Structure 1
Amino acid sequence: MEPRITDSHCHLDFPQFEGEISDLLERAGTAGVRRMVTICTKLRTAPAVRALADAHAPVFWAAGTHPMSAAEEPLATVEDLVELAAHPKMVGIGETGLDYHYTSESKAIQQESLRIHIEAARRTGLPLIIHARDADDDMARILTEEYRAGDYSCVMHCFSSGPDLAAAALDLGFYLSMSGIAAFPRSGDLREIFAAAPLDRILVETDSPYLAPPPHRGKRNEPAFVSHTARAGADVFGIDYAEFAAATEANFERLFSKAV
């Protein structure tokens, strides 16, 4: 049997998976993927995302407003997020964060939304799920300021930022999540960042349907493919796949303790 592993971040409600969830879950199970967290990126879609978790035992969920949607969607409130978190399979707050690559004009509302999500993570005790793109300085500053105001737990989802943000996140006790990007041939600098991190702070994910790792690069990603990213992660840390899978499982259960 394949070692057990968890896809800590996917988007099963996206249209790319319509009508395929049962087959997708079967393929994931064959690959050893025993759990996955599907992420709600707009609170108006929360009922559909929650329904996936209710219908399928391996599926847990998280909810938040993606930073690229922060200016278009109603601003979430702490109370909104706390209410959603009462669901037994709702295990994280987000994804939230900062994305200045395409939506730099909405910096102010992104930062306001991020701070709301951080407070919800504090109140619920659930981990914050962070998306960061081209915003390393502001991200490190806000995460640090807010942590000093009251601690919370956090994963830097699909981490592909620079070493300074990685160091800031690790210094706060946060986790870095490897996506398929870490397995791309030209991601040597990113693999060096992961290699310098403690093994007990590493998660793996697909971010499916996006960012499929080799040998599926350029195709639709799905939770089963997290095993390819994890094999690349094992190479980064110089350990065998079973050991790396066991380490990331322990890390996931420590951070996402509600999903155990």
Structure 2
Amino acid sequence: MENGFVDCHCHISAQEFEQDLDDVIKRTTQAGVKTLVAVTEDQREFDRVLQLKKSYGALIAPCFGVHPLQSDGGPDKRSVKPQDLEAALPYFYQHSEELVAIGEIGLDFTPWFAPSEQEKDDQMKVFVQQLEVAKELNLPVNVHSRSAAKVTISTMKEQGVTGALLHNFAGKLSVAFDGIKAGYFVSFPPAVCTNPQVHADVLFYLVVKTIKLPFYLQKVKLIKQIPLEHICLETDSPALGLNKHERNEPCNIGLVCQYIAQIKGLSTETVQFVTSQNAQRLFTKINQL
């Protein structure tokens, strides 16, 4: 694959892009993005992402997944139930040749989404079943792990998963390294770039000297200490942009690249090249697109 950005986790099939998708795609390619790893959250998106693959060719790398949080048509989310996966399962096998990963899947134990053990148990059942599908189809997984990073990683290890992207990772550094030892990758969206002008040396001082870090500096610590060979770039667009009130787009991936380069004291060219190589190692089928 020609060198360029790989957005390892975006929702290009989301409704937010339907009205001006051609313009979004144009800005995406102009920004140097060569591949969009297009995750889905439920069966309703599957046909849409496959149609985008037909329309935009190798730019779109489709994934099928049932997210740990589901919507019943309105703005509110609820914890996933096993029946949400049942109808979707045949599609994974029918379109396995077109998929580069299973995702977005995972666990979300945020208290208001999973207030009881029943919700957590249901999420775990859906997650494990999709991990089994991924192993059957020899595909990596694109994983959500909010408020559940440790149990998400331990579950994947127990299930023998060898290829995984921990998207928008926000767990502890020790938990991240547990995943890295298993061969997993970690990615960060533009939302981490809260203050891109802060000098890397100052950030490093804060990371080392501060015992209890605020959320923003926890992300800095992760980026600083996780080896670049285990980092990928993502936008999670249309969410997790610089401004939470504005639609995020894949063209913003360069912001994450610059930010990681600054924190690590590397050139943006190095970060772009290594993270793209990482993406191709994880999502091996994008090399065939």
TM-score normalised to structure 1 length: 0.90
In the TM superposition, 1:1-260 aligns within 5 A as 4-57=4-57, 58-69=59-70, 70-71=80-81, 74-76=84-86, 80-87=91-98, 90-101=99-110, 102-104=112-114, 105=116, 106-147=119-160, 151-185=161-195, 187-213=216-242, 218-260=245-287
Deviation at 1:14, TM superposition (A): 1.4
Amino acid at match of 2:123: Q
User: In the superposition, relative to structure 1, how do residues 116 and 80 fare at CA in structure 2: closer, same or farther (>3 Å)?
Assistant: farther
**Do the aligned partners of residues 113 and 223 (structure 1) sit closer, same or farther apart at CA in structure 2, a change above 3 Å counting?**
same
* Partner amino acid, structure 1, of 2:124: Q
**Correspondence for 2:207:** none
Q: Which amino acid aligns with 1:64?
A: G
1:157–1:177 Cα contact (<8 Å) kept: yes
Q: In structure 2, what is the Cα distance between the partners aligned to 1:139 and 1:72? A: 18
Q: For 1:47 and 1:243, locate their aligned partners in 2 and report how far apart those are by CA, in whole Å.
A: 36
The 3-state SS of whatever aligns with 1:167 is helix
Deviation at 1:29, TM superposition (A): 1.4
Matched residue type, 1:172? A
User: Aligned partners of 1:240 and 1:73: how far apart in 2?
Assistant: 47
- Judge conservation of contact 1:81–1:117 (CA < 8 Å) in 2: no
CA RMSD of aligned residues (A): 1.9
> Aligned partners of 1:176, 1:24: CA distance in 2, in Å?
25
SS in structure 2 opposite 1:131? strand
SS in 2 for 1:173: coil
How far does residue 162 in structure 1 lie from its aligned partner after superposition? 2.0
* Identity level (%): 25
Residues 177-228 of structure 1 show CA distances to partners (whole Å, capped at 9, x for unaligned) of 1112321236222121122112111101100001113xx5542100000111
CA contact (8 A) 1:211 1:218 kept: no
Q: Which range is displaced more, 71-80 or 28-37?
A: 71-80
- For residues 142 and 123 of structure 2, what CA distance do their matches in structure 1 show? 14
TM-score, normalised to structure 2's length?
Answer: 0.81
**Deviates most, 114-123 or 219-228:** 114-123
Structure 1 counterpart of 2:235, which letter?
Answer: T
User: 1:83-105 CA deviation, whole Å, 9 max, x = no partner?
Assistant: 33222xx2110111100114214
Q: Report if the CA contact (8 A) 1:206-1:212 is conserved.
A: yes
Contact kept? 2:4, 2:276, Cα under 8 Å:
yes
Aligned residue for 1:194, secondary structure, equals helix
For residues 125-153 of structure 1, give each alpha carbon's deviation from its aligned partner in whole angstroms, at most 9, with x where no partner exists: 21111101111332232122112xxx431
Q: Deviation at 1:79?
A: 5.2
Q: Would the aligned equivalents of 2:38 and 2:60 in 1 still touch at CA under 8 Å?
A: yes
Deviation at 1:12, TM superposition (A): 1.5
Q: Say if 1:67 and 1:110, in contact at 8 Å, map to a contact too.
A: yes
